[in-house]
Amino acid sequence: MLLNVENLSFFYESEKIIFNNANFSLDSGQILSIIGPNGAGKSTFLNCIVNLLQPKSGKITIEEKNISQMNAIDISKYIGYVPQIHIPTYGFLVKEYIAMGRAPKIGLFSKPSKEDYFFVEKAMEKMEISHLANKPYTEISGGERQKATIAKVLVQEPKLIILDEPTAYLDYGHQYKAIKLIKTLAEEGYAIIMTTHQPEHAILLENYTAIIDGQGEFAFGKTSTIISESLLSDLYKINIKMPFIDSLQKTIVCPID
C-alpha cells in the first residue's frame, strides 16, 4: 500500500472537530476525490497528509514510513502538490517555473542542469505546452498555467500527486480536460488525491471518494456506493437528484427546487 491513513483526527479548538478517525489507504493508480462544503476542512486534511499540519491523533505512513518522522526533502520525493492556481509575483519563464519542480533533486548550491531541463522538456511535451516554454508564467491562460503546474509536479517524480481544487478558476471545457488528464495520470501509475466542489468530477473519476461534512465526520468509500442523492442533499443543504441518463449511459448530478 502506498499511502495509509489510520485514525487521523484534527481539531483547532476541542469543540470544533474538523475530522475524526479518518481511515483509508490508497495504492498506486488509484484516485481519491474529496468533497465537502466550503470551510469543512478539505485543505486542512490535505495539509495533514503533506505534513504541513500536525494531526491531533492518528498516523500517516507512505510506503510504511511514518510521515511525521520525514523531513521536507524526503516527503517531496513521494508527494507532489499542485496548489490552487495563483499568479506569482515574478514572471518566470514557463520552463524556469517547471524546472523548480526538480528542487528536491538539486543541491543547495546548484541550479538545474541540462539533464534537469531534459525532464522539463519531456514534461512540457506530455502536457502539450512545449510552445509556451519561453513565455512568462504570468502571461499564459488559466488552463495553460494549470498544465505548467502539473508539469512542475511531474518533473519532481513523486508517487502521489495531491491537487487542491484543480478545476477552480477553469472554464467548463478546461475543467473537463483537467479531469481527463487526472485520469490519465492515474492510469500511468500515480496515486491521486484531489479536492473538488463538483460531485460530478468525483463521479467521472470513479475510484474512491471521501466526504468531509463540516460536522467532524469523515466518510470514505467506493465513489459509486458512497455518493447518493440523500448524501449530496444533506452535504450541500439543497435538493439534489442524480438521474441515470440512458442515452449517455451516465449518472448526472442535478440540483432541483
Partner 1 sequence: MDKDCKEVIYKKTFITTAIVLFFVIIFALSTGRYTISFLDTIKILLSRIAPIDNTWGPTAEGVIFNLRLPRLFGAILIGSAFAISGASYQAVFKNPLVSPDLLGVSSGATVGAALAIIFGGDKLIIQIGAFLGGIIAVVLATTIPKLLKNNSIMLLVLSGIIVSGLMSSIIGIIKFLADPEDQLAAIVYWQMGSLAKIHMPDIYAISPVIAITSIILIAVRWRINILTLGDREAQLLGVNVTLLRAIVIICATMLTASAVSISGTIGWLGLVIPHLARLLVGPDNTKVFPISIILGAIFLIIVDTLARVLTPAELPLTILTGLIGAPFYFWLLARQRVRL
* Residues in touch with partner 1 (CB under 8 A): 50, 52, 71-73, 75-77, 79-81, 83, 86, 88-93, 96, 100-101, 103-104, 106, 108-112, 133-134, 136, 156
In angstroms, give the least distance from the CB of 237 to partner 1: 30
Helix (H) or strand (E) holding 61: strand 57-62
Nearest to 162 by CA among 176, 180, 175, 149: 149
* CB closer to partner 1, 12 vs 90: 90
Nearest to 153 by CA among 195, 182, 113: 182
Q: Looking at the DSSP assignment, which residues form a beta bridge with residue 5?
A: 24, 60
In angstroms, give the least distance from the CB of 245 to partner 1: 40
How many angstroms separate the CA atoms of 77 and 69, rounded? 14
Q: Print burial letters for 207-236: b (CB count within 10 Å at least 16), e (below 16).
A: bbbbbbbbebebbbeebeebbeeebbbebb
* CB closer to partner 1, 32 vs 94: 94
Task: Determine the 3-state secondary structure of 5 from DSSP.
Answer: strand
In angstroms, give the least distance from the CB of 52 to partner 1: 7
* CB closer to partner 1, 109 vs 244: 109
In angstroms, give the least distance from the CB of 199 to partner 1: 27
Could you please report the per-residue DSSP string of 155-192? HT--SEEEESSTTTT--HHHHHHHHHHHHHHHHTT-EE
* CB closer to partner 1, 103 vs 226: 103
* CB closer to partner 1, 124 vs 202: 124
In angstroms, give the least distance from the CB of 66 to partner 1: 18
Give strand ranges (E) for 41-95. 57-62, 65-66, 79-82
Rg from Cα positions in the chain: 19
In angstroms, give the least distance from the CB of 77 to partner 1: 8
In angstroms, give the least distance from the CB of 163 to partner 1: 12
Residue in the block written with cell 437528484: 241
* CB closer to partner 1, 109 vs 172: 109
* CB closer to partner 1, 108 vs 256: 108
